[in-house]
A and B are shown apart, each in its own frame.
Chain A
Amino acid sequence: MLFNSFTFVALVLVTLLLYYIPKFRSLQVQILIVASLTFYTWHNPYLLMLLLLSAGINILTSYKVVYGPPNRKKRNATLGVLANLFTLAFFKYSGLIALTFTENEAVGEFFLSIPLPIGISFFTFQGISLMVDVYKNSEKDRTDLVPKSLLKHAQRTLFFISFFPQLVAGPIVKAHDFLPQIKDKFLRDIDWQRCFRNIVLGYFLKMVIADNLKDYTFWISFPYFIDMDTITLLTVLFGYSIQIFADFAGYSLIAIGISRLFGYNLRDNFNFPYISKSFKEFWKRWHISLSSFLQEYLYYPLGGNRKGKYRTYINLMITMVLGGLWHGAAWSYAIWGAFHGVALAVERLITDAVKVRQIWILRFFKQIMVFSMVTFAWLLFKLPEFSHVIEYFKAMYTNASAYFNVDICTRVLIYTSPVILYHLIYTMRDTALWKRLHKFDFVLYGIMLFLIITNSGMPGEFIYFQF
């Protein structure tokens, strides 16, 4: 069920209606569980078994961690984490592992035929978050997260794992952020303006920007790009960089806005990442829920930056390579992760060794450099075959010409300009000019609403659904 479908809108409206009827207040969690399971299994009812299995494992093991024998606490927590990782590995990576490490093509083909359940990368990570939080927290915090009643704990955990706005493409929610929010919700507490802003901007980014850009970035496909001129190749790649942002940030904003309608606050997932002046800053602004998860549950447990310079670089590389692989079962994603790991490590090395005054021209130069390198790295997402990435760079180098595809380039620039404006507005937020103009932001939202109705592209799946 896509967010931009009439069915989804109907589901949200019906659920909202039932949710805020005073008579049903004590059933709010149950209503959301039913809505979430309906959402997840709409096109494939068999997925229900997987989701319930995953939730069941997390319910039982987390309960055992808190209320089981203290000497088995670590074992139960480890079991829970491994069960989540095994589920993820089996459905997502078995094909890649079999093809890479076995010579038996039949084995590889069998594992490749295992379907990839939508959202698995997200809800297994949330299960891991629950395990780690109940294991490492203080006794009081553990019992706050996991109530004594197993039935109540089961409901809360199933709700946490399956909550539909963020189930299939995030933001990844941590147990200690979400579970304490579970209580009765009231219509009077909804911040309608904030929800409206999130939802309208989210749908605009997804339906008007991303869904239109995809019809031009389509040409980043082998071998169709081989004889395209350099300017067009650069332009469509720029378009893809904006598309992937608009697609994912759009989805996250819709998820956040809809969650708020039900009284649940999810953290922002994107914070204007393309103005970043460093890769460290980029990862504090891009897919914040993932980078925060990896930092808290992987980078810090590995030692973070507390075990010396070289160990820090190793920890960064491990975290980024695994973070890259999380995106997909192909070595190109690991290479993408490694690229970011190397960039972070080199940046750290340079920053430690060289101190330069941050004049505005240098800051601007750094923004362009980071944006350019991030954009070139997105090619690994668009062209999972590494040889095709090399061909793309070759084409950019060899096809230099004064002429370019006016049609493609113009349309890409039209559909990318709102995102550029969006980032520009953010950089102006502290200026007197913006403070004066801000009171007219309803004009911008009105225009976005108009364009959502009249200028949406052909519906495309959210890019991050494939992860």
Chain B
Amino acid sequence: MIKKAVLISLLLFSGWTFILLKKPQISVTQNVWQENVSLAEHYIYDVKDVPNVIVGSSLSARIIMDSLPEFYNLSLGGQCIYDGLEIVSNRNEVPKRVFIEINGLEKELDETFKGVISHPLMRRLKASVPTFRADKQPLAFIGNYAKYFIATAHEKFVPPPGEGANVTSHDAPKESVFDKILAMKIAGRSKALDQELIDDRIAQLGSYIAELEARGVEIIFFETPIHADLQQLAMTEQIRDAARNNFSLKKYTYIPLPANIEAYQTTDGTHMTADDAAMFSHFFKLQVAPYID
């Protein structure tokens, strides 16, 4: 029984690997976390000669990359800059420039994610066998077909199978929900963080930056717009000041916030709406124009 079960699994594995090798372009992710792993894997194993990398959180993940072909956006939803920096610094080939989002500087490296991405045995396997990659899971494809079938029957459009990743809403929620979420964020950001925590994060960031600079990488900082009521709160200012005090404006470039920042709308106080993400992307593109070779 054991031998037969193992044989069946090997046959399925071989068949699925064969399909993936024949159709390398097919890719489906099921949720934010899988998207993050897939983004990281794509950067580690597939991407070559991209001079500019953005590291950040879900805030920067909303930057539209269509008109930034010389950029790779390694901003990870639900995660932070340290996860992105960990990926960049562990790759043999480093980019010319790394753009670091300072909004979520206080967050913590995700050790589980790091373990998934950087396990030595899995790295070797994923480099040569696509079956182990996050965007090649068989049930994800079945889920996509099922989703399309149900959505079509229910008259609600979703992208056809194999073409789209997870659908996330970039529209503003109901006012009552927005108000609740914004109030929570105002309460959360009104108090400065423990200075020891900030010092620890700055030290961590400093360590990544030192390593990348030693390998010839230029570091540029930027910030994404957030709701006006959150801009000048204690925690926001503490983070901004910590970055500027430790990574001086004299040595590092900081992309300024847009002049019309008050005009930016968010879905929850911190994440830009779809329209405003497009507006910010245009602004960002103008700001980084000197860095496009």
By a beta-carbon cutoff of 8 Å, the part of chain A in contact with chain B is 6, 192-193, 196, 200, 208, 212, 215-216, 223, 226-227, 403, 406-407, 409-411, 413-415, 441-443, 445-447, 449-451, 453-455, 458-460
Contact = CB atoms under 8 A, between A and B. Distances in A.
B13 A453 contact: yes
A223 B6 CA distance: 45
B22 interface: no
A393 to B, nearest CB: 16
B235 to A, nearest CB: 19
B138 A455 contact: yes
Interface stretch (B141-149, B189-197, B207-215, B251-259): B141-149
A451 B115 CA distance: 20
A454 B31 contact: no
Given A196-B2, A216-B31, A446 B8 contact: yes
Q: Which of B6, B9, B12, B132 gathers the greatest number of chain A CB atoms within 10 Å?
A: B9
Contacts of B13: 450, 453-454
Contacts of B176: 226
Nearest to A195: B2
B159 to A, nearest CB: 10
A446 B14 CA distance: 13
B124 interface: no
B131 A406 contact: no
A445 B10 CA distance: 12
A192 B146 CA distance: 37
Contacts of A458: 33-34, 37, 112-113, 116
B2 A192 contact: yes
B181 A223 contact: yes
Contact of B5 (A196, A411, A460): A196
Contacts of A441: 1
Interface in B1-60: 1-2, 4-9, 11-13, 16, 30-34, 37
A459 B119 CA distance: 13
What 10 A-B pairs have minimum CB-CB distances, sorted nearest first? A446-B8, A449-B9, A445-B5, A442-B4, A450-B12, A410-B147, A450-B9, A215-B31, A442-B5, A446-B5
Contact of A406 (B1, B2, B158): B158
Contact of B177 (A215, A226, A450): A226
Nearest to A5: B115
Contacts, number: 112
B119 A6 contact: yes
Nearest to B17: A454
A406 B147 contact: yes
B39 to A, nearest CB: 13
Nearest to A216: B31
Contacts of B271: none
Nearest to B2: A196
Instruction: Please tell me the size bucket of the interface on B.
Output: 35 or more
A407 B177 contact: no
Contacts of A459: 112, 115-116
A459 B180 CA distance: 31
Interface in B142-165: 142-143, 146-147, 150-151, 154, 156, 158
A99 to B, nearest CB: 20
A218 B112 CA distance: 16
B250 interface: no
B184 A223 contact: yes
B4 A446 contact: yes
A223 B180 contact: yes
B9 A193 contact: no
Contact of B6 (A216, A226, A449, A460): A449
B216 interface: no
Contacts of A6: 119, 121
A316 to B, nearest CB: 39
Given A450-B8, A453-B9, A459-B115, A415 B139 contact: yes
A413 to B, nearest CB: 8
B5 A451 contact: no
Given A411-B31, A460-B112, 16 more contacts: A200-B5, A212-B139, A215-B33, A403-B156, A407-B158, A407-B166, A410-B146, A442-B4, A442-B8, A446-B9, A447-B9, A449-B5, A451-B138, A454-B16, A454-B137, A455-B137
A208 B139 CA distance: 10
17 contacts: A6-B121, A193-B1, A208-B139, A212-B139, A215-B32, A226-B176, A407-B158, A409-B150, A410-B147, A410-B150, A415-B139, A441-B1, A445-B1, A446-B4, A447-B8, A453-B132, A454-B136
A435 B56 CA distance: 56
Contacts of B143: 410-411, 414
B227 to A, nearest CB: 16
A459 B2 CA distance: 26
Nearest to A439: B1
Contact of B147 (A196, A403, A407, A445): A407
A367 B12 CA distance: 36
Contact of B150 (A406, A443, A454): A406
A193 B116 contact: no
A448 to B, nearest CB: 8
A289 B140 CA distance: 36
Contacts of A415: 139
A444 B47 CA distance: 38
Given A223-B177, A458-B112, A451 B139 contact: yes
